[in-house]
Amino acid sequence: MLYPLKFIPVYKDYPWGGRNFEKFGRILPDGIIAESWEVSCHPNGVSIVSEGELAGTSLPELVERYGRKLMGTALPEKDIKKFPLLVKFIDADKNLSVQVHPDDAYAQANENGEYGKNEMWYIISAKPGARLVYDVKPGIDREAFSQAIKENRVESCLNYVEVFPGDVINIPAGLVHAIGEGIMLAEIQQNSDVTYRVYDYGRKGRTLHIKQALDVIDFNSTGRKPKTTGLKVLHPSGSSVTYLVANGYFSVELYEISGKTDERADGSRFFIYTFIEGEGNITWDSGTTSIKGGETILIPACLGEYSIAGRLKALKSYVPDIEENVIRPLKQAGYSENEIFENVAGLAR
């Protein structure tokens, strides 16, 4: 019964949101919409299948019912039970809070067994001059940052980066960050909803988490390159795949499809495609479904051969075997090991 799965978006009305998801042709509920959780097994926003024989079934129910047929044979048991990824769109009509996320060890010890939160961003649209916070400035240590918080001058400690559509930003756990106003993006992250806010522009009624944030901020890695261009591999079909981010939690690749590309889910892992623009279809052995920009689709691990056709731009995310799924195909495409580790964000030697 498993087939490529679409889900009903789970909308979040945080105060910094807007109405920009209407650009995807969506009919939104009234009011501010800040986030659209596209694929989520988190209890704070559970995805429900929108189409086909499984319509109305929740993602946790699918995980329980199908197990490794959905999730894959390569994932550890802890990821089978919890579903490891959360995919969302974010509409920052106003500045988000300045925040940081914990790693797995801190979250599991202090947040009732939650995953930590490593994430990445793909900028879909950005108003002229839009910028985001990426890290603190070089030379800012825990003591200096703590003092700045007490004196309400956090903004003077932050490193700002101007962004443009198509930019890719890797956000590891421990990195101070914030999305600035006028930016819409896709976010791939661990399945976690743990955020420690350190500064919120004076908004009322929003809890700050100063102690936890100071516990987890990595003050030893300032000067990191904020943007990654990745490494592109051309396919004979005229399409291309750019390897953007890869770590122990997720790999994200940018597919730019012109015509048709043939893919395979061999039973080892599931894949999530988040379509940024264009339109086309996905075809597998027993069906076809249409796809367009602003949609996200989950490919079950057991699906087998499938193809994506049309003119499309999409992010493909999954839990990788780094050597097999990332390093080997890039070496086969002619890239050196140094090029791979320098240009694919998140890789560690």
| 84-139 pLDDT tens trace | 999 999 999 999 999 999 999 999 999 999 999 999 999 999 999 999 999 999 99
pTM over 0.85: yes
Q: Quick one: 16 and 65 in the same domain?
A: yes
Residues 43 and 84 occupy one common structural domain: yes
Is 349 part of a structural domain of the chain? Answer: no
Instruction: Note whether 201 and 249 are same-domain residues.
Output: no
pLDDT in tens, 272-281: 999 999 999 9
Same domain, 207 and 239: no
Compute the average pLDDT of residues 197-224: 90
CA distance 195 to 297: 26
Picking from 185, 216, 247, the residue at the C-terminal end of a domain is 216
Dihedral angle sign, alpha carbons of residues 44, 4, 232, 249: positive
Do 127 and 239 lie in one domain? The reply is no
Task: Write out the catalytic residue numbers.
Answer: 197
Indicate the pLDDT class of residue 204, thresholds 50, 70 and 90. confident
Q: What is the pLDDT of residues 241-271, one digit of tens each?
A: 999 999 999 999 999 999 999 999 999 999 9
CA gap 3, 300 in Å, rounded:
7
Same domain, 126 and 253: no
Mean pLDDT (the chain) is: 96
pLDDT of residue 296: 98
Residues 50 and 124 in one domain: yes
Q: Is residue 224 part of a domain?
A: no
Question: Which tokens is 6 given?
Answer: 């679409």
Quote the number of domains for the chain.
Answer: 2
Regarding whether 270 and 167 lie in a shared domain, the answer is no
**Cβ neighbours, 10 Å, residue 63:** 17
Same domain, 180 and 249: no
pLDDT over threshold 80, residue 239: yes
Give pLDDT tens digits for 26-41. 999 999 999 999 999 9
Where among 216, 251, 275 does a domain terminate? 216
How high is the pLDDT of residue 238?
Answer: 79
The string of pLDDT tens digits covering residues 296-317 is 999 999 999 999 999 999 999 9
On whether both 49 and 26 belong to a single domain, the answer is: yes
Asked if residue 289 belongs to a domain, the reply is: yes
Q: Is 222 a member of any domain?
A: no
Distance between CA 18 and CA 94 in Å, rounded? 8
Same domain (yes/no): 111, 187: yes
Query: In terms of residue numbers, what domain contains 260?
Result: 231-343
d(Cα 115, Cα 112) in Å, to the nearest integer? 9
Q: In the numeric block, which tokens belong to residue 211?
A: 């102690």
- At 199, which amino acid appears? Y
Residue 78: pLDDT band (50, 70, 90) is confident
What is the pLDDT, as a whole number, of residue 67?
A: 95
The enclosing domain of 280 has a CATH number of 2.60.120.10
Same domain? 258 vs 146: no
Domain presence at residue 62: yes
Domain boundary among 153, 186, 216: 216
Q: Where are the beta strands (DSSP E) in 147-224?
A: 158-162, 168-171, 177-178, 183-190, 196-199
pLDDT tier at 222, thresholds 50, 70, 90:
low
